[in-house]
Amino acid sequence: MAPSRRFTADEGGYAQPGDLIEILRPAYQHWALYLGDGYIINVTPVGDVAPGTMSSTKSVLTRKARVRMQLLKDVVGEDKYRINNKYDSCYAPLPVEEIIRRAERYIDTEVPYDVLASNCEHFVTMLRYGEGVSNQAKKAIGAMGAAVVAAGAISLLGFAMGRSREKHN
């Protein structure tokens, strides 16, 4: 259950309210938004028994996510993390009070989830900037496109080689 207190923009500590937190998982990055006082907001698969962890397999298969407020240390576990407001040069962050107010409205709700179009990074950047952005998704889409092109080239090459053998026989 979420504490009833509200977070404010003047809380101290290394991470500041409204900061994007990138959690470096073995196969992907999980994103959260720092609220203050050690708490973050993030999305997890609906029905996940361990809400601090979003397995990459389950996140690919789910279509909904639950927004949770959790302690950063519980979500990070043994993984490394960093503050990464990497989009600040492209998008102006909203005022911190507005970021926190927007985030608090989502706590304990379900939201649509799609690993390529509406993932954890999209969610927290939408809170910080008013627009959902995910370079992680763009890279995945680019990799899939490259794989499709490579598969097509291999098929075309195989077809051409087969035709060439037919002509020589």
Mark whether 90 is an active-site residue. Answer: no
In the three-class reduction of DSSP (H, G, I as helix; E, B as strand; rest coil), residue 9 is classed as: coil
DSSP states along 46-78: TT-SSTT---HHHHHH-SEEEEEEEEHHHHHTT
Residue 15 and residue 7 in contact, taking contact as beta carbons nearer than 8 Å: no
Distances (CA, A) of 50 to 29, 60, 90, 120, 144: 17, 17, 34, 16, 30
Q: Which of 90, 120, 122, 168 is catalytic?
A: 120
Tokens of 92: 């102006």
DSSP 27: S
Burial code (b: 16+ CB inside 10 Å, e: under 16) for 82-121 equals eebbebeeeeebbebeebbebbeebeeeeeebebeebbbb
Mark whether 30 is an active-site residue. Answer: yes
Which residue, among 61, 83, 102, 94, has the nearest Cα to 15 in the 3D structure? 83
The residues that are catalytic are 30, 120
